[in-house]
């Protein structure tokens, strides 16, 4: 079914009457509700109060100022231009933000005593989560530290004579002892079995002959409660 002039007129009339898109579609016949809505849009007919938009208007009225970037809904994956949306959100808005919340100029006198004035400052959040400074609120530059002679830090006593990550090469055993992040975490450090990353002893742990299925033993319960799930 095509959009003849007559059908378009009927659509316009019913749309103006406030009939729902489904009702219009049913009355016209041969078209779906979506077809009616699409046609109405292309004709430039007035928007109807849509459930989606109604909520947005309320929110907009309650919070006229743009919400901080980190509180806005994250761009959905399906969005065709998520980058653009993020950039638009994060980009400084030279006309709005500073005008709405002017930062006190460095030379400006402090607020009059006895009356505490709280100014709400909207900031945009940068891609890394840092807070962008607004114009006119630069901090005084941090003075450079006085020059000092740099000396190597002493290793902590716990790992003073242990094999650390930096000590590893292809000739020493890389078998880890302890857990990464713990203060005494280190590596075996014995001479490696040539061609292997571990010493002979740890090669015996790391490499085991493949047994036929029927000969395999079920693995013993793990001492630490199973693999960590992150």
Q: Are 185 and 162 in contact (CB under 8 A)?
A: no
Task: Name which position in 9, 16, 27, 53 contacts DNA (CB under 7 A).
Answer: 53
Interface mask toward DNA for 78-97; x: CB under 7 A: x-x-----------------
Query: Cβ of residue 92: shortest distance to DNA, in angstroms?
Result: 24
CB nearer to DNA: pick between 46 and 95: 46
- Compute the Cα dihedral for 195, 200, 204, 209 and give only its sign: positive
How far is C-alpha 74 from the geometric centre of its chain's CA atoms?
8
Would you report the helix, strand and coil content of the chain in percent, each value rounded to 5? 35, 5, 65
Residue with the two structure tokens 């299925």: 213
Q: Considering only residues 7-26, where is the footprint of DNA by CB under 7 A? A: 20-23
DSSP-derived 3-state class of residue 186? strand
**44-52, 105-113, 134-142, 193-201 -> range binding DNA (CB under 7 A):** 44-52
CA–CA separation, 27 vs 215, rounded Å?
75
For position 110 contacting DNA by CB under 7 A, the verdict is no
For position 39 contacting DNA by CB under 7 A, the verdict is yes
Contacts to DNA by CB under 7 A: 1-3, 20-23, 31-35, 37-42, 47-55, 76, 78, 80
């Amino acid at each position: 079914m095509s959009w003849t002039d007559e059908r378009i007129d009927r659509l316009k009339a019913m749309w103006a009457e406030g009939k729902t898109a489904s009702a219009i579609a049913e009355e016209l016949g041969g078209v779906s509700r979506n077809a009616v809505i699409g046609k109405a849009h292309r004709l430039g007919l007035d928007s109807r109060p849509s459930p989606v938009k109604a909520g947005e208007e309320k929110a907009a009225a309650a919070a006229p100022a743009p919400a901080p970037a980190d509180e806005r809904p994250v761009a959905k994956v399906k969005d065709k231009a998520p980058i653009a949306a993020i950039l638009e959100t994060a980009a400084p808005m030279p006309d709005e933000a500073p005008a709405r919340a002017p930062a006190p100029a460095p030379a400006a006198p402090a607020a009059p005593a006895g009356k505490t004035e709280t100014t709400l400052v909207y900031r945009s959040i940068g891609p890394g989560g840092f807070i962008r400074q607004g114009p006119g609120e630069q901090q005084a530059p941090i003075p450079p530290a006085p020059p000092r002679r740099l000396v190597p830090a002493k290793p902590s006593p716990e790992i003073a004579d242990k094999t650390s990550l930096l000590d590893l090469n292809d000739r020493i055993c890389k078998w880890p002892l302890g857990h990464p992040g713990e203060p005494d975490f280190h590596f075996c450090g014995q001479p490696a079995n040539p061609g292997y990353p571990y010493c002979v002893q740890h090669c015996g742990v790391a490499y085991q002959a493949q047994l036929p299925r029927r000969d395999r033993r079920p693995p013993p319960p793990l001492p630490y409660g199973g693999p960590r799930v992150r």
